[in-house]
Each structure stands twice: as structure tokens, then as C-alpha cells.
Amino acid sequence: MMFFHFILFVGIILPSVSGHAYFVYPTPRIVYCANDSCVTAGTLGRQGALWGLPANLTLDDVSPITQTTCNGSVLITNASIGASYDPGFNGKTSASWQAGSLQTLQIFISELHPIENRTVYPTDGWQIRYRDGTQPNSTFTPIPFTYVNVIDEATIGPVPASGFKLGHIVLATITVPEDATTDGIFQFFWRNNQGRYNGTMWLSCVDVTITSDASLNTVLSIFSIIFAVFCLISVQY
């Protein structure tokens, strides 16, 4: 019985891991390698910047800076490859998605760390967040996603990185927000803990154009045609 309890305990603890990851599709603002060329001394290793968080901060209590940008408030470590800071929207979106459509984001896992202490930081995990970059008062808000092949139903998380494997690509399916925008910003937010820090976070952002719902446009177009015909008939009579 004691052996069974030990196995059960290990089964609960093992899924909790930390590390670094970032979008690879759509193309993120900061692009890091996501293939064998990333390997150094047999491991992929951290590529992006690492930001710190105050002790016991939850995913919903991140700093105001993080609410509107992909920069953290306290930079602990520079990126080993590429830029350390989020450059922000540069006028170019990497994809164009239809409002309300289903899309799948791809997240590359570049580094994994040993088991985390989830007793101290029980809210560790990752989320997909979204804000409309054209609206200055818009902040990153968690949106439902499905962790493909791991969870069956959509969740806003935080989701433990139980299925993460070094060098693999994680798939997260979302329903694109309904409001059209020229700068819809999707953020991969991963809050984890490492023993020498109070808490750390990893951020990756991608800019997407969101077009209006095609079905709605079709309805409006049909209505416009009917209205035009009605007006033409009314003029003739």
C-alpha cells in the first residue's frame, strides 16, 4: 500500500515542469530557431529573455507592463539568441484570420527544467492571451484554448506543462475573437518557478489581422442586393 501511495504521489508531481517556449506559427515578433540548429552541447537550451515576478504572484496579477506588452517588468537574463525585448507591432502581421474561425497556434519547446514546487507557486502554468493592439486601453486577457491531444475541452488555464517535451511543438487550438482588427495580438504566457528566483515568466507574441466573419458579410451582401432591387422596383412604380 505504501508503494502504491508513493507511485501515486510521483504521478501527481511529475507533470509539473518549467522551461522556455515560444510561438513558431504564426511567425512571432521575435524569431528564434526551432530545429536542430538550436542544439548546443546536446541540448536546445534557453533562447529568449527571462523576466522575474514577485513571490507568489498569480497569473492574473502580472505587472501593468506585461498587461499591454510582451516585456516583463524585471529582466533577469538576456536572450542568448536574438533580441531580449519585445519590439512591438511594426505594421506587419504574420497571418490573416477570419473572426470566429478555428486556428491552431504552434509553440516550440526549447528548454525544460526539473520539477517545480507547485506548493509554493500553485498557479504555475501556461495560457494563451489576447489583446487588440489597435485599442490603447486593451489588455492581455486569457482566452479559451484546447491543448491538442492533451485536454479534450477548451480551458483558459493555467495549464501545467505535463505534455511538454524538449524540441517538440505544442499545438493550441483557439476560436479567433469576433471583432475585426488590423493588429490582433496573441500572447503565449508561461509562468513558472525556479529555485533561485521568486518566480519567472516567459512571453512570446504574434500579430494577426482579424477579418470580419465571412458568413455575416454574405448575409449583408444578400440583404444589400434585395434592398437595391426593392428600391429599384419602388422607383419604377
Q: What is the pLDDT at residue 1?
A: 44
- Residue 171 inside a domain? The answer is yes
For residue 105, is pLDDT > 90? yes
Neighbours of 157 (CB within 10 A): 22
pLDDT in tens, 1-42: 443 333 333 333 334 456 788 999 999 998 888 876 676 666
| CATH number of 161's domain | 2.70.50
Q: What span, in angstroms and rounded, lies between the C-alpha atoms of 166 and 45?
A: 9
Q: What is the pLDDT at residue 112?
A: 80
The answer to whether residues 208 and 26 touch, using CB atoms and an 8 Å cutoff, is yes
Cα separation of the two ends of the chain: 91
The answer to whether residues 160 and 13 touch, using CB atoms and an 8 Å cutoff, is no
pLDDT band at 101 (very low <50, low <70, confident <90, very high): very high
145: left (phi over 0), alpha (psi -120 to 50) or beta: beta
- Please enumerate in sequence order all residues whose Cβ is within 8 A of that of 160, keeping only pairs 6 or more positions apart, or say none: 15, 16, 17, 118, 124, 125
Higher-confidence position of 117 and 113: 113
- Residue 231 inside a domain? The answer is no
- Residue 226 inside a domain? The answer is no
Q: What span, in angstroms and rounded, lies between the C-alpha atoms of 146 and 140?
A: 18
Q: What is the pLDDT at residue 6?
A: 34
* Mean confidence (pLDDT) of the chain: 77
Q: How many Cα neighbours within 13 Å face the side chain of 18?
A: 21
Q: What is the pLDDT at residue 170?
A: 92
For residue 48, is pLDDT > 70? yes
Q: How far is CA 6 from CA 15, 16, 116, 161, 185, in A?
A: 15, 17, 18, 22, 44
Distance of CA 189 to the CA centre of its chain: 5
Q: What's the total number of domains in the chain?
A: 1
Q: Which domain holds residue 44?
A: 17-211
pLDDT in tens, 64-97: 677 888 887 788 888 877 777 788 898 889 999 9
For residue 165, is pLDDT > 70? yes
Give the three-class secondary structure for 106: strand
Beta bridge partners of 169: 108
pTM (2 d.p.): 0.79
C-alpha cell read off for 9 = 504521489
211: left (phi over 0), alpha (psi -120 to 50) or beta: beta
pLDDT in tens, 121-152: 556 788 999 999 999 889 999 999 999 988 87
Highest mean pLDDT among 43-47, 81-85, 136-140, 192-196: 136-140
